[in-house]
Amino acid sequence: MKKKLVALLLCLVMALSLIPTTVWAALDTGHSAPTWDDLETLLAGKVNMVCETENNLSPYGLLENTQDYTVYTVSEVAKNADGVYTCTVTIINDSGVSKYIARYNDDTNSKHEAGDTDNDLTITLKYDKENSNWIATDTATIYVKCTPAPVAPNAPTWDDLKTQLAGKVNMVCETNKSHNHNHTYGLLENTYNTSEVAKNANGVYTCTVTIINDSGVSEYIARYNDDTNSKHEAGDTANDLTITLEYDKENSKWVVSATDNTAIIYVKCTSEQEAPEAPTAEDLGGYKLVKVDCDTKSSHGEKLYPLLDGTFTTEVTFKDGIFQCVITITKDGAKEYVKQYGKDLGKTHSLKKLEDATITLTYKDNSWVVDDNDSSASILAKCSTGNNSNTNPSKPSDGKPVTSSKTFDAGIALYAGLSILSLTGGALVIRKRKEF
């Protein structure tokens, strides 16, 4: 009996092995549909709410308390042409879409209605055999529009422009970089045009301010010339004459755009520059520009002095849009500084060498400033031969003792005589008192 059973089992196994694999595939019973817990995870961020008016997109997921199938329908699980099990979630066109719009209105604190664009209300789920789970392969999109349509804000006023564009117009001199220091301006009256208020691609209301290319630019150049005390004309670089303002809905005001927030006007120095007057010693009194040092004794050290009247010459030049003044200390002038040096030390000195006679100044922001690379003139002095540096008069430098002179001093003799007469007179007075 056992042998018959074994033989029968073997025959059954052999018969089953002959069945084609396609038959086995047909016998596959598939997978169960995703649960609501599955849908809550799968649909997170898969429903896009798009406002046609403001051009905004806000992602949503599964709405709470919607298991009553008034928002979604879920199809049966079926195998597609690629042999993959799928399941389709569809947002119901009326009741489902209206609930999403109501949630969107609450979140945005605004009013919307169904948009004009056709909605895409289906999301396809596919079963991942390898990981034994469902995955979402696309998104749904619901289009809405504001109701009523928002009203565009009024164009910015002059006060708005004056506040927001303060320091937003930059003047750049192509010739002389020193002219660029801190020369920014706000909006000047009657130098600009403003565009109509319009909504950009991001749904933000904007207004563009454009400086008028001829009359407006020339007004800025004239102001710049006054402030720099120089002459300029339009430069060779193309100007950037626009500034964009954006309307801040939250604070109900116009603000400067983060991406187009300055205008630039390029100028260049003209050849007809009016040279500034050369500086005087009084003008440069705050600078100590002349250095004097002793070549004889290093202990005397160096000293710095301001310029003295009558000790130097000046020459103003103009090159590459920059005014410079070369101050040259004269030889006779150098002697005056050496003389002052000797007085300060209490030792007479004379001029040995005028090492560096020049000092270079640059004209910047309506004043002369010292060039960092040429900040002082240099004079070398030497101790005079008549100087006696010995501090003890009783011991001269030759080592011999000092003896006093033996000549008669008339002052001392007069003083001695007066002393004797005084004593004699005193004796006579005492004698007379005794006789009385």
**Tokens matching residue 44:** 């997170």
Domain finish residue from 201, 235, 269 = 269
| 162 plus 213 within the same structural domain | yes
Which range of residues forms the domain containing residue 351? 290-383
Mean pLDDT per block of 10 residues along the chain (436 residues) reads 70 66 47 84 93 89 76 90 92 91 90 93 93 92 87 91 94 78 87 93 91 94 86 91 94 92 91 79 87 92 93 86 88 93 92 91 84 83 68 44 48 58 48 44
Domain finish residue from 214, 234, 269 = 269
Looking at residue 376, what is its pLDDT?
86
Domain contains 14: no
CA distance 208 to 193: 8
Nearest Cα neighbor of 280 from 361, 337, 376 is 361
Which single residue is written with the structure tokens 């603000």? 255
**Tokens matching residue 305:** 């002095």
Looking at residue 436, what is its pLDDT?
43
| 224 plus 294 within the same structural domain | no
**Tokens matching residue 270:** 């003209």
| 259 plus 164 within the same structural domain | yes
Nearest Cα neighbor of 328 from 314, 309, 317, 308 is 314
For residue 311, count other CB atoms closer than 10 A to its CB: 20
| 178 plus 254 within the same structural domain | yes
| 260 plus 303 within the same structural domain | no
How many domains is the chain built from?
Answer: 3
| 328 plus 306 within the same structural domain | yes
| 182 plus 261 within the same structural domain | yes
Sheet holding 302-305, edge to edge: 302-305, 290-294, 377-383, 349-356
For residue 260, count other CB atoms closer than 10 A to its CB: 16
Sign of the C-alpha dihedral computed for residues 423, 427, 428 and 432 taken in this order: positive
Domain contains 18: no
Nearest Cα neighbor of 91 from 156, 28, 150, 47 is 47
Looking at residue 144, what is its pLDDT?
95
| 173 plus 111 within the same structural domain | no
Domain contains 202: yes
R_g of the chain computed on alpha carbons: 51
Domain contains 394: no
